[in-house]
Amino acid sequence: MRKYVKTGVPALIVFTLVMAGCSTGNQEASMEMDTPQINYIDEGDSLDAEVDATEAEATSEEEGVTETIERELFLFDQNGLIVPQTIEIPKQEGVLRQSLEYLVEGGPVSNHLPNGFRAVLPAGTEVDVHLEDGIAYADFSEEFKNYKPEEELKILQAITWTVTQFENVNSVKIRINGYDQETMPVNQTPIGMEGFSRANGINLETNDVFDVVNSKGVTLYFLAENGDNTYYVPVTRRVEKNEADPIEHVVSELLEGPSMNSSLLTDFRQEVELLDSPLYENGIVTLNFNEALLNQLEGTAISDDVLNMLVLSLTEQNGVEKVSIQVNGNSEILTTSGDMLAEPVSRQQLLEAGKF
């Protein structure tokens, strides 16, 4: 059987989606923090420019309050998966180095870790980062080697996905005490000549497809629970290469649900299906579903989880910036909050909500 979140009572969500075109009435959500908007480096801009523009003044002299900013950190959850958590940290120069420093066990992240999560880098690890031609050279001290062999690949994934949140960082190469590493130091996981990137995947699923040459990876977002909190987990699934539209392929795999071998969940009903092929135009994907997509408010509204899983999964595809949802050709869809979803939704809107 597939695993589902019960939809009679909405699950407690770690973050709330802010949607363009929706009215802004009062809404209640259980959150771990409420923090300001994330600022990202635009394509082609330098890291220094981003620092000058948004982080030159790290501390406010007024009232002695330290200014903060949200960063997306990839941490271990209670199931050993690498999971993004949006953490409010002090604004300062050297955003790449700071982001990696917040992955160190016993480091500055200690006072910010959500329940059930832990840092990925060994205690005492010192970090430096150099950015060149889209490659972040992450230089670690000798303590970096003190991790469990079975966690090596996921540690490399956590480093990569944390620094590639910045748009001018495409991949990561690892150094130890200034020396380039062709492989990771403990279990010799290959890093690659061009570095390790998001294309290498995260939380790799194992399934029946083993032919790497004739398969491809797609990254999908499913749900996990930690007590009363629900959060989103990216997993990369190997699927057979075929002539299908890659966007349609992602939707199909998302509707298929998480692996039976995992503890992950989905909020899609089994009856959900696309009525038409996805339409892509100017960075916007339009998806037309049947009425089974509406699983809230007695079958009249789309759940936040369903919408967020679609947006997060599809915007991992190159060129996809926003997702527009229709039901039986109607784009005015009721949301769980009672507002109308009338405009395409972007990944940035989820980030600006501060909970992804």
> Residue 286: which H helix or E strand, with range?
strand 284-289
Looking at residue 21, its pLDDT comes to 41
- What pLDDT digit, counting tens, does each position of 177-206 carry? 999 999 999 999 999 999 999 999 999 997
Rounded to whole angstroms, the Cα distance separating 33 from 340 reads 26
Q: What share of the chain is helix, strand, coil (3-state, %, to 5)?
A: 20, 30, 50
Residue type, 112: H
Report the share of the chain in percent with pLDDT over 90.
Answer: 65
Q: For residues 187 and 209, is the Cβ–Cβ distance under 8 A?
A: no
Looking at residue 352, its pLDDT comes to 67
Q: What is the maximum span of the chain, computed from C-alpha positions, in angstroms?
A: 60
Q: Is the pLDDT of residue 30 over 60?
A: no
Q: Is the pLDDT of residue 60 over 70?
A: no
Looking at residue 207, its pLDDT comes to 64
Residue type, 120: V
Residue from 160, 81, 153, 141 nearest 116 by CA: 81
Q: Is the pLDDT of residue 44 over 60?
A: no
Q: Is the pLDDT of residue 118 over 80?
A: yes
Q: Where are the beta strands (DSSP E) in 35-149?
A: 68-76, 82-90, 127-132, 135-140
- What pLDDT digit, counting tens, does each position of 243-279 carry? 678 899 999 999 999 998 899 999 999 999 999 999 9
* Averaged pLDDT of the chain: 83
More confident residue, 207 or 161: 161
End-to-end CA distance of the chain: 29
Edge-to-edge order in the sheet of strand 322-327: 279-281, 284-289, 322-327, 345-346
337 Cα distance to chain centroid: 24
Q: Dig out the tokens for 23 from the structure.
A: 């009215």
Task: Out of 63-67, 317-321, 331-335, pick the least confident.
Answer: 63-67
Rounded to whole angstroms, the Cα distance separating 356 from 348 reads 10
Looking at residue 213, its pLDDT comes to 73
* Residue 48 pLDDT grade (very low, low, confident, very high; cuts 50, 70, 90): very low
- What pLDDT digit, counting tens, does each position of 134-161 carry? 999 999 999 999 999 999 999 999 999 9
Report the share of the chain in percent with pLDDT over 70.
Answer: 78
Q: For residues 194 and 249, is the Cβ–Cβ distance under 8 A?
A: no
Rounded to whole angstroms, the Cα distance separating 137 from 355 reads 28
Looking at residue 266, its pLDDT comes to 97
**pLDDT (average), residues 3-26:** 40
To the question of pTM greater than 0.85 for the whole model, the response is no
Rounded to whole angstroms, the Cα distance separating 29 from 228 reads 12
Each residue of 145-157: b (16+ CB within 10 Å) or e?
eebeeebbbbbbb
Looking at residue 43, its pLDDT comes to 37
Rounded to whole angstroms, the Cα distance separating 124 from 59 reads 26
Looking at residue 229, its pLDDT comes to 87
Most confident of 4-13, 329-338, 346-355: 329-338
Q: For tokens 């870790």, name the residue.
A: 113
Looking at residue 209, its pLDDT comes to 54
SS3 of residue 52 by DSSP? helix
- What pLDDT digit, counting tens, does each position of 67-116 carry? 988 889 999 999 999 999 989 999 988 999 999 999 999 999 999 998 99
* Residue 218 pLDDT grade (very low, low, confident, very high; cuts 50, 70, 90): very high
Q: Dig out the tokens for 290 from the structure.
A: 């049947």
> Residue 233: which H helix or E strand, with range?
strand 229-240
Residue from 299, 170, 337, 333 nearest 345 by CA: 333
Rounded to whole angstroms, the Cα distance separating 353 from 34 reads 8
Looking at residue 353, its pLDDT comes to 58
Please name the residues in contact with 196: beta carbons below 8 A apart, sequence gap of 6 or more: 156, 157, 159, 160, 171, 172, 173, 174
